Amino acid sequence: MPCDVVLLSGSVIVNESVLTGESVPVIKNELPHSNVDIYDPIADQKYTIYGGTEVLKSKSYWNNKVIALVVRTNYDTAKGKLIKNFLFPKPNKYKFEDEAKYFILT
């Protein structure tokens, strides 16, 4: 998948080993319909197919097609954030340096 999508109808088996390192396929089902139509990325992650995953099999019900809605693209996807962290790492400041200066100076 080149982007993060939320599954609106159907069921999909995906391989998320690129993101998680786990080689066990995962089943993603459609987002349940509710009165609240707001997508929450954290609460609805079991209905989300992340960018960088491989779709192994899709299954539709009652002759409906498998439909998904794109929710994130580019560096906002799960794989994009992973690559962004490799390209632009956050500077690390270790407490060891501060503590070492304290012990040396005292």
> If DSSP codes are grouped into helix, strand and coil, which group holds residue 36?
coil
**Domain residue ranges of the chain, discontinuous segments joined by +:** 4-105
Return the CATH class of domain 4-105. Answer: mainly beta
* Cα distances (angstroms) measured from residue 32 to each of 47, 65, 96: 9, 16, 49
Give me the pLDDT at residue 35, please: 65
Tokens of 17: 């080993």
Give me the pLDDT at residue 36, please: 67
Q: What are the pLDDT tens digits along the chain (106 aa)? A: 688 888 888 899 998 887 778 888 988 888 887 766 788 778 888 888 888 888 898 888 778 888 888 888 887 787 888 888 888 888 776 677 777 777 787 6
**Contact assessment for residue 58 and residue 88, using Cβ atoms and an 8 Å cutoff:** no
Give me the pLDDT at residue 75, please: 78
Residue 5: exposure state from Cβ atoms within 10 A (0-12, 13-18, ≥19): buried
